[in-house]
A = this chain, B = another copy of it.
Amino acid sequence: MARTPQDVTETELSILNQLWDLESATVRQLVDILHPDGGSSEYATVQKLLERLQSKKYVTRNRDVWPHVFEATVGRDELIGRRLQNTADQLCNGSLQPLITNLVRSKKLSTDELQSLREYLDELDDQNT
């Protein structure tokens, strides 16, 4: 009964992605990008999506200007972090460690990426001393 809705839907994400790129945007701007050849119905769709993003606190709307301007309140990094924590909560008792292990062991990282990861760890060490 108590379903847990997605934090952000894929369609909603397509909007967030634009907002991250543009810093801020009006409905019109978003529609022109997402539906270059769209009619008035897609306009309303984007509007509705923004409305929902707003009620989910992922977006703010500035009513002081006209037309209204929208802005993301959550950065891409933060959303990534939430998703990772979600996955950890559901599959690893909340621990993030297994996620890292999984990623490193996945063999999908290039040696360059592994190298830069090591360097990052070194940096952290330096800061801690």
Contacts and interface: CB of A to CB of B under 8 A. Distances in A.
A38 interface: no
* Chain A interface bracket (under 10, 10 to 19, 20 to 34, 35 or more): 35 or more
B103 A84 contact: yes
Looking at chain A's contact residues, is the secondary structure mostly helix, strand, loop, or mixed? helix
A40 B88 CA distance: 33
Contact of A117 (B79, B81, B116, B121): B121
**Which of A4, A79, A91 has the most chain B CB atoms inside 10 A of its CB?**
A91
B100 A109 contact: yes
Given A101-B120, A103-B100, A109-B96, A84 B81 contact: no
B108 A96 contact: yes
A10 interface: yes
A104 B123 CA distance: 11
Nearest to A108: B96
Nearest to A113: B97
A76 interface: yes
